């Protein structure tokens, strides 16, 4: 472990930085001192431009910074797809104290951005994880900081295979749902996500970049999705990751992608130690983040088979300020 990792989790004192620096000076290590110590760019800038004391003060404040990963449906949002006033107030308190809030969803990025604006989560310290971990977006600086995509030939295979089994399937451009078939499932999905679709003869000609996800949908018969999953399992091995985000949605993303993986990536980018991570969710596609975060919180309203993955079960549900309860218990000081 680096100096930073050990210092941030409380294993060593700040003065140990001088021993680490001395060891680096007399070693053949090809890494820069910043890389050797594990410092972030911001920490290095403060150290160079100011003093040892300034760096220590800055890192001490960082120790207090926690990061909360929030699923949307059934977690942050109530059953009317709204954020309760109590949750909103608690989130603003957390941001004011310097904590980070991360919308963590299987939805496409465009939908996550629209929702974040509606919820007022576009301040400094707000991020969105979309496509079940395949893309991470800085909502304040309006830029993608991490992205993994599906090759176009994989997209073509999945769309064709789903259509052959009578299932609706779709993928995404930066702004729209893309589908080759006009189906009731598509229109229902549009109404639920506030996204618009484009129905095109060939999705491949519409995509200017590789997409983050393909989703196969059946609102009536979950067994058909299970059969589809089984039928493509051999082909998908090593090519894609797939998960049911809910019984109606079977989602395909790049290998290794999950909400849990995205937590590790974003914490690495921000320099936040695992011991300062909290994740809250209620569904099967939240399990990886519940297991990855230091504290996994499962909502009171979650199914019983999900609750076994929680370190803490909320006393309030998603309709009654359950996330405010989480913030007050684990973030605010």
Reported CATH class of domain 152-253: alpha beta
Report pLDDT digits (tens) over 3-14. Answer: 998 999 889 999
Q: What's residue 177's pLDDT?
A: 96
- How does residue 84 score in pLDDT terms, banded at 50, 70 and 90? very high
Q: CA-to-CA distance for 284 and 309, rounded, in angstroms?
A: 10
Q: What's residue 227's pLDDT?
A: 98
In the chain, list all ranges with CATH 3.30.1240.10: 152-253
Helix (H) or strand (E) holding 154: helix 152-164
CB 215 within 8 A of CB 252: yes
Q: pLDDT exceeding 70 applies to what percent of the chain?
A: 100
Q: What's residue 118's pLDDT?
A: 87
- How does residue 24 score in pLDDT terms, banded at 50, 70 and 90? very high
- Two tokens at 126? 């707000």
In the chain, list all ranges with CATH 3.40.50.1000: 65-148+257-330
- Annotate 250-303 with DSSP letters as a single string: EEEESTT--HHHHHHHHHHHHT--GGGEEEEE-SGGGHHHHHHSSEEEE-TTS-
Q: In what order do the strands lie in the sheet with 312-313?
A: 143-147, 135-138, 126-130, 100-104, 67-70, 277-281, 295-298, 312-313
Q: What's residue 9's pLDDT?
A: 85
First CA to last CA across the chain, in angstroms?
28
Q: What's residue 171's pLDDT?
A: 97
Q: What's residue 333's pLDDT?
A: 84
- Two tokens at 158? 């999945």
CA nearest 179: which of 214, 208, 142, 154?
A: 214
For the chain, helix (H) and strand (E) counts, in that order, are 15, 14
Report pLDDT digits (tens) over 277-287. Answer: 999 999 999 99
- Annotate 62-107 with DSSP letters as a single string: HHH--EEEE-TBTTTB-TTS-B-HHHHHHHHHHHHTT-EEEEE-SS
Q: What's residue 139's pLDDT?
A: 97
Give how far the C-alpha of residue 114 lies from the chain's centroid of Cα atoms, to the nearest Å.
16
Task: Report whether CATH 3.40.50.1000 matches the domain 65-148+257-330.
Answer: yes
Q: CA-to-CA distance for 297 and 70, rounded, in angstroms?
A: 10
Q: What's residue 318's pLDDT?
A: 98
CB 202 within 8 A of CB 155: no
Is the pLDDT assigned to residue 192 strictly greater than 90?
Answer: no
Report pLDDT digits (tens) over 211-255. Answer: 999 999 999 999 999 999 999 999 999 999 999 988 999 999 999
Is the pLDDT assigned to residue 96 strictly greater than 90?
Answer: yes
Q: What's residue 132's pLDDT?
A: 92
**Mean pLDDT of the 163-184 span:** 96
3 state SS of 305? helix
198 forms bridges with which residues in the sheet? Answer: 178
Q: What's residue 160's pLDDT?
A: 98
- How does residue 28 score in pLDDT terms, banded at 50, 70 and 90? very high
Report pLDDT digits (tens) over 103-136. Answer: 999 889 998 999 899 888 999 999 999 999 999 9
CB 260 within 8 A of CB 133: yes
CA distances from 217 to 162, 164, 230 (A): 9, 13, 15
* Helices 322-330 and 85-96: angle between axes, nearest 10 degrees: 20
Q: What's residue 119's pLDDT?
A: 87
- How does residue 166 score in pLDDT terms, banded at 50, 70 and 90? very high
- Annotate 1-42 with DSSP letters as a single string: --HHHHHHTTSS-TTHHHHHHHHHHTS---S-HHHHHT--HH
Report pLDDT digits (tens) over 286-321. Answer: 999 999 999 999 999 999 999 999 999 999 999 999
Q: What's residue 143's pLDDT?
A: 96
Q: Is 205 exposed, middle or buried (0-12, 13-18, 19+ CB in 10 A)?
A: exposed
| Category of 98 on φ-ψ map: left (φ > 0), alpha (ψ -120 to 50) or beta | left
Q: What's residue 89's pLDDT?
A: 96
């Amino acid at each position: 472990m680096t100096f930073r990792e050990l210092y941030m989790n409380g294993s060593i004192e700040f003065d140990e930085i001088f021993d680490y620096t001395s060891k680096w000076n007399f070693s053949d290590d090809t890494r820069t001192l910043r890389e050797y110590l594990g410092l972030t760019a911001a920490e290095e800038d403060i150290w160079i431009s100011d003093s040892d004391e300034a760096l220590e003060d800055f890192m001490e404040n960082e120790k207090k910074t926690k990061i909360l990963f929030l699923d949307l449906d059934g977690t942050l949002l109530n059953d009317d797809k709204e954020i309760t006033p109590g949750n909103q107030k608690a989130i603003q308190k957390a941001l004011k104290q310097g904590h980070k809030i991360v919308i963590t969803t299987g939805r496409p990025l465009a939908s996550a951005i629209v929702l974040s604006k509606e919820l007022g989560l576009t301040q400094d310290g707000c991020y969105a994880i979309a496509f079940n971990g395949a893309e991470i977006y800085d909502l304040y600086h309006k830029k993608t900081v991490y992205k993994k995509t599906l090759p176009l030939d994989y997209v073509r295979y999945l769309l064709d295979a789903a259509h052959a089994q009578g299932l609706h399937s779709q993928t995404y451009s930066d702004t729209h749902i893309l589908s080759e078939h006009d189906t009731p499932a598509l229109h229902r999905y549009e109404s639920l996500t506030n996204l618009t679709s484009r129905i095109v003869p060939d999705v491949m000609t519409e995509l200017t970049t590789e997409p983050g996800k393909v989703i196969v949908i059946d609102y009536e018969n979950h067994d058909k999705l299970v059969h589809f999953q089984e039928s493509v399992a051999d082909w998908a091995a090593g090519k894609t990751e797939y998960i049911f985000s809910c019984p109606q949605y079977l989602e395909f993303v790049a290998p290794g992608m999950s909400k849990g993986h995205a937590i590790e990536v974003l914490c690495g980018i921000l320099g936040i130690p695992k011991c300062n991570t909290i994740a809250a969710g209620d569904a099967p596609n939240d399990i990886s983040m519940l297991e990855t975060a230091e504290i996994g919180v499962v909502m009171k309203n979650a199914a019983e088979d999900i609750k076994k993955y929680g370190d803490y079960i909320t006393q309030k549900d998603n309709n009654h300020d359950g996330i405010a309860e989480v913030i007050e218990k684990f973030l605010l000081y």
